[in-house]
Structures are given as C-alpha cells and as structure tokens.
Structure 1
Amino acid sequence: MGKHHKEKLLLVFCLVSTFAISMVVFDREARSADLPRSRQNKGLSHIGNTSPDNTATLSPVEQQQSERLKRFHQYCNSNSPGSKRFSPDINLGRYSVSEKYKLIYCFVPKTGSTTTAHVMYQLENGRGTNKFLNRTPGLYLKRLSDYSKEEASLRLRTYTKFITARDPIQRLESAWIEKFLKGPQRDEYTEKYQSMMETVPHLNLKNKSPGDKVGNSSLQQIPFLAFMKAVARQQKRWYNSHWEPAYIRCSPCQVDWDYILHTDTLAQDYHHMFQKLGMSDMEDILPPVRPRKAGANFQERFENIPIGLLWRLKEMYKPDYEMFGFSQENELKKILHIETNNR
C-alpha cells in the first residue's frame, strides 16, 4: 500500500471521527436549546407534528424533509451570529419571488438553479412561456431587491421559502465540467480564468497537444486540479457564483425555510412540495427524474487531487456540509474504493 493511499485512509478515519463527534454535539445542543418561536411554529408545519409518536405516520419523503430541516435548525442554533460559520446578512438580489404562488427561492448555481428558474418562470407566466426566452429565465424573475425593505421583510415572513442544495464537492465538479470542459461558455470562462494555470506551474504547458487548447490556440484548457486549487485559495480574481459557498451566497440561517431540496432528489422533492402546497395542477412543468451530469468520472478526476487540497476545500465548505447534511467522508470513500481495486 503506497504512502499516498495510507494518508487518505488516515484522513478518512479522522473525518469519520470528527463527524461522529459533531453529531453528538449537535444532538446535545438541540436538546438543551429551544428553537426560535418562528421556527417552532413554521419550520416543520407543512409536514405536521414531528414528535416521536407521529414520526412513523410520515411518508419517506416527509421524513426526509423533517430530518433536513431539523439538522439545518441544529446547525443554525449551534452557531451564533458572531461565528465565522454563521451566514452574513441577506443579499435580496439573490432571492426570486413568485407573487402568483407566494414562493421565494434563493439561487445557488449548480444545484438545479436553472431548472428551478424555468419552474418559477412558468408558475408566474404560464406553461411553456419559458420556451420563448432567449436568455436564462432567472434573469426575468422578480427579486426581493425589487421591493421596499418593508415589502421584502413581509414576504420573507409570510411566503413559502425553499432552497436547493448539493454536495459541495459534486457541485465543484459540475461547475468545472460546464464552465471549463464542455459547456457553451467554455471559451469565455477559459479566457477569463486563464490565470488559474498559475496554480499548476509544474505542468509543461508548451508541450501540450492541440487537443488541450481551447478556442484561441493561445489559451490552455483549465485542468480540474488547477480549478480546485484556485477555488481553495479563495482569491477575489477567481471568485464566481457557480462555486461560491451556499452559506455565503444565501445567508440560509437568516431565513425560516419551509423546504430544503437536494439536487439528487430534486424531482421527488418538487413533487412533494407541490402536493403539500396544493399546486398539483402544475406538476407537468416539473423536471423529469434523470441522472446528474456530474459524477460519471468522479473517481478518476479526484484520484489526482492531493489530500491536503481536499481537506482545505472541506474546511471552506464546512458550513454547507453541516447545515444541509452532506458528508465528504462518503466522497473520499468512493475515491479510496477505486484506488484499492486498482492496486
């Protein structure tokens, strides 16, 4: 067994231990601290009483929503406003509004945001109206920033609020695939972020084959390793909303969410939400169940990512992992499984 592999095994052991300890702390804090009154009355109201006696009566999707909201509330109650891991003030321009159905959604790119923008646009303007747009429908949606402070505050208190979340590492992979590998904006992003190549000076770029060039022959394709290193360095010149942590982008702990949707269960989560909100007649506009774009070559891409880099990214996205219930340990196990089979 090689040194690199032993280091990864050791890290997995440490991560699992840390995760187990955090779960115990979360549980103790949740029992010792009452939820804010608004969360008690609203956070889980759409799925009924979630007391132990009533949990068995919930459907699997309802139980899943209950667990997501519970963990989210635990995280926010465990982190005071002065903590670095607590969400900053809300940017109202990132919240879209459907007045017709009284919905509010915060855009987190690469979590199903484009799909959600199509759904929100059709809810407000009618079935099929999104087909006639020449730009992403998200640009046409009304935002909370379009209202006065009082009007925005009223809607945040009274409208149904939902957010889509995704495993941070999978979200990073998806962002790289779309923006640097084969998406329609590949050339634009490659030129804008060409300086990311500074993070991999050991690569002999001059001798790369023509297939590694993008658009203009002077531009080098951004390797996955360079992208991941650039994101981890958190420099302003390499910032982009497609890999900005959700806890920074949407200030989740400032909002009493009614639903938390996950990218890998997006279709069923939408179906559940529409059913509960009495919007079944609009279910035909919802996305079909389909495989995620990211993940097909997951292990292959991550095998060459240094373990120290994965650790820095884990710390960078730690609030997202914890508040939305994702586990980086599972992703590391996938990588280790492939390596073990190849040795």
Structure 2
Amino acid sequence: MRHYWLLLGACGWVLLILIIFTKLFNFRSVDDYGRRIIGQSGTVPVTKMVKPVLVSSSDKPTPKPPASPTVAPTEAAWQSVIDKRIQLLSAVCKNGSLTNLTHVSINKFVLDRIFVCDKHRILFCQTPKVGNTQWKKVLIVLNGAFSTVEDIPENLVHDHEKNGLPRLSSFTPQEITHRLSTYFKFFIVRDPFERHISAFKDKFVKNPRFEPWYKHDIAPAIIRKYRKNQRNSDLTASGLHFEDFVRYLGDAEGRRRMDRQFGEHIIHWVTYAELCAPCEIHYSVVGHHETLEKDAPYILKAANIDQLVSYPAIPPGITHYNRTKVEHYFSGISKRDIKRLYERYQGDFQLFGYQSPDFLLNKTINDPKNIKSSQHL
C-alpha cells in the first residue's frame, strides 16, 4: 500500500512539472513583431504568415510625377509651333523656283554673323533689328564676364574686340564643321517690311549709337542716285526719305554696286538668307520677333541655359506686328517700288511663314497730297 501511494505521488509530481514546462514554453514563443504564437489546440487562432507576392511593374500603381519635369499643355503647343517653322523652312528650301532667293553658300560673311559660346555649345546668328543686342547680352553672361544682363554696359555689347564673343569665322574649317554639326543653333526673324522701317529709323533718323557714316556716307549716296533734282549741297541737310530707301533696296543691279561701296554697314537690311544661310545650316530653332515673349524662354530652355541666365524684360507691345505703321510708311510709295521690294525679300517672306503684303501690293495709286516726308516719322 505504501509503495502504491509513493508511485502515485511521483506521477503527480511528473505531471505537475510537465504542465509548468508547457506553459513556460508557450509564453516564450513569440513572432517577429512580439506577438505570442499559440498552438492550434489553444483558444486563440493561429496567425497566418502571408508569403510576400512579387508585383510586376505593370501592376504597380503609377506614381505621380514631380511637378517640375512635367510638360505643360502650353509648352507642348509651342513645341508644335517651333516644329512647324522648321518644317516650313525645309520645304521652302526645296522649292527650286526660289533657289536664288533662299540659298547662299556658307561663306565668311555668314560665319562672321554667327557668335559662339563654347562653354554651353551654342551658336547664335545675329539678324539686326530683331532684339539681336539682347541675345548678345545673354551669351556674354554665359561666358562668365557678367552675372546678369543688366550689368553689361551698352557700349560693350557691340564692341566685338572686347565683349568676349568669338565669331565662327575665327575657327579652323574642322572646328567650324564640328560646331555647326553638334551645337545648338538659333536665330530670330521679323516681318521683312517692318524690319526695313526699324532699320531706316534706327540708322537714318534717330541713330542712337552715333554711327555718322549712315548720315554722311550712305544716305547721300542713296539720295544722289534715287532722288531727282537734288542739289549736292542739300544731300545731308534734307535727310534720307523712306521712299529713297525703298527704291534703293528694290533696285537689284544698282543696289549691288552701292553695297560694295557701303561694306558691312549694310547688314541691317541684308536678307535673312544672306545673313544666316538657313537652307545650308540646320538650325535648332528659328524664333520670331512677333512672338518673342514665348520664343525667348523656349530657346533658353531648349539650350539648357534657362537656370543660368534670363532674357531681358520685353517692353509691352514692342514686338507686336503693327500693320498701321507699315501702311503709314508705305503710303507715299508707288506700287512698282513696293513690288520690287517684295520681289527681293520674297524668300524671307516664304521661308519664315510671313504673309505677302497684299494690302500694299494691291492698293490703289497713292494721292500725292497724302505723301508725307518719312524722315520725321
């Protein structure tokens, strides 16, 4: 009997030890997040460990792009405008009937017009009377001489010995070819007839930069040839009239002879084709003076310099085409002279999508009473 109770007691102790060990083991079994894991026999259901599922890139939610790299609808629309200009330029260059007006060789005269910014791989062909001075300022800033365009003295911009802007003509033929084929290239154009008015006012009426050869050399030569019954003593005093200027520009043979005498001072009314050879040089962008408010920031961004420099502020309304002004200046000029002028610049009209001035070409004969002396306008 005694052995029986001893055996029963020993079994009880063994059972008690097993219960305590089991509870201790369950307490220490926790998952990676500190939660207890209880066996299937317990009252708490087992937490299932879900195996990660690999999601393909097509199934992933598309993240929202950052705000800065997005292309705004207006930018995309303007890119289309730029593309259409280049397409039109290419199409007109292929027009055999206009070859004499659109094609020129890439000669020294053209290379002298193209300024180089090697630091940012940019070529800019200058076309006077279209904001050319402001673009020179942009390139001067990019070359590091000044921090902003506002800091550049006006007299330095056109001092090509000191402004630090090399011309493409200063490089070797191999260097020229490399830059023409790899650099970002652009130039700006303007309605040809409005450009002539601006050139006439700037060089023969106001002459703000004091270039006396226009008044004392070029103007008298034009007057002497195209104004009848003009005494030599009055050539300078009377001043050049816009009518004289138009006759000179439209006279193919006479103008060529006079231009050789005038030298490079004539660049202010040379055709865009002669200045920049757009049918031979594949430009990246052709900007228009009439849309400079949109073209300037587009060019800066396309050339990857928009974070480095800003185009100078554009006065309101200064770039808009002014048909009233054009009609006013041409009011006293014969249809024959207007037609000759258009024939010379027809290539520029068509290359860059400017409408032919039919409102002038088809106008009625002018009443001499309405003719005004243009040098005072």
TM-score, normalization by structure 1: 0.71
Which residue number in structure 2 is paired with residue 161 of structure 1? 185
Letter of the structure 2 residue corresponding to residue 191 of structure 1: H
Cα pair distance change 1:328/1:203, threshold 3 Å: farther
Question: Which amino acid in structure 2 is aligned with residue 98 of structure 1?
Answer: C
**SS across alignment from 2:238:** coil
Could you tell me which residue of structure 2 aligns to residue 170 of structure 1?
194
C-alpha displacement of 1:113: 1.3
Q: Would you say 1:70 and 2:87 are equivalent positions?
A: yes
Q: Are 2:147 and 1:127 aligned?
A: yes
Give 2:172's aligned amino acid.
S
- Alpha-carbon separation, structure 2, partners of 1:229 and 1:150: 42
Distance 1:268 1:334 in 2: 33
CA deviation after TM superposition for structure 1 residue 206, in Å:
9.6
Q: 1:162 to 1:138 in 2, by over 3 A?
A: farther
Distance 1:165 1:196, change over 3 A: same
* Deviation per residue, 1:314-341 (Å, 9 max, x gap): 11011111111111236638978x99xx
Cα offset for 1:251? Answer: 1.2
> Is the CA contact (8 Å cut-off) linking 2:215 and 2:236 kept in structure 1?
no
Which has more radius of gyration? 2
1:299 to 323, 327, 337: 327
Question: Which of 147, 157, 179 is matched with 1:136 structurally?
Answer: 157
Contact 2:93 2:99 (C-alpha < 8 Å) held by counterparts: no
Q: Which amino acid aligns with 1:269?
A: D
- The yes-or-no answer on 1:221 pairing with 2:221 is no
- The structure whose residues are more often helix, as a share, is 1
Greater mean alpha carbon deviation, residues 124-133 or residues 145-154 = 124-133
**In structure 1, how many angstroms separate the alpha carbons of the residues matched to 2:341 and 2:111?**
27
Say whether residues 1:271 and 2:290 are aligned partners: no
Count of residues paired in the alignment: 275
> What amino acid maps onto 2:278 in structure 1?
P
Paired residue type of 1:94:
R
1:127-146 CA-to-partner distances (Å, cap 9, x unmatched) read: 23762463334623111112
- Asked if 1:201 corresponds to 2:227, the answer is yes
1:328 paired to 2:356? yes
Is residue 83 from structure 1 mapped to residue 99 from structure 2 by the alignment?
yes
- 2:363 & 2:147 partners in 1: Cα distance? 42
In the alignment, which residue of structure 1 is the partner of 2:213?
A: 188
Identity of aligned residues (%): 22
State the alpha-carbon separation in 2 of the partners of residues 171 and 199 from structure 1. Answer: 23
Once the two structures are TM-superposed, the CA of residue 61 in structure 1 deviates from its matched residue by 1.7
CA gap 1:122/1:335 in 2 versus in 1, 3 angstroms: farther
User: CA separation in 1, counterparts of 2:306 and 2:75?
Assistant: 19
Change (3 A) 1:220 1:71: same
Aligned to 1:210: none
What's the secondary structure of 1:284's corresponding residue?
coil
1:62 deviation in Å? Answer: 1.5
Kept after mapping to 2: 8 A contact 1:106/1:163: yes
Name the CA distance, whole Å, in 2 between partners of 1:196 and 1:112.
27
1:201 positional shift? 3.4
Residues 334/271 of structure 1: CA separation in 2 closer, same or farther (3 Å cut): farther
Partner Cα distance (1:200, 1:107) in 2: 29
Please state if 1:235 is matched with 2:294. no
Larger RCO of the pair (alpha carbons < 8 Å, separation 6+): 1
1:160 CA displacement? 0.5
Conserved 8 A contact 2:114-2:124 = yes
Query: What is the identity, as a one-letter code, of the residue corresponding to 1:93?
Result: D
Q: 321-330 or 278-287: which moved more?
A: 278-287
Local SS of the residue matching 1:100: helix
2:118 to 94, 99, 113: 99
Shift of 1:288: 2.3
Closer, same or farther in 2 for the Cα pair 1:330/1:101, shift >3 Å?
Answer: farther
Distance change (3 Å), C-alpha of 1:302 and 1:203: farther
Q: Matched residues in 2 for 1:322 and 1:221: separation?
A: 33
Code of the aligned partner of 2:317: P
Report if aligned partners of 1:299, 1:334 keep a CA contact under 8 Å in 2. no
- The structure 1 segments of at least 4 consecutive aligned residues displaced by more than 6 Å after TM superposition are 203-207, 333-336
The 2-side partners of 1:334 and 1:61 are apart by 33
Residue 281 (structure 1) aligned with residue 300 (structure 2): no
1:103–1:159 contact (8 Å) kept in structure 2: yes
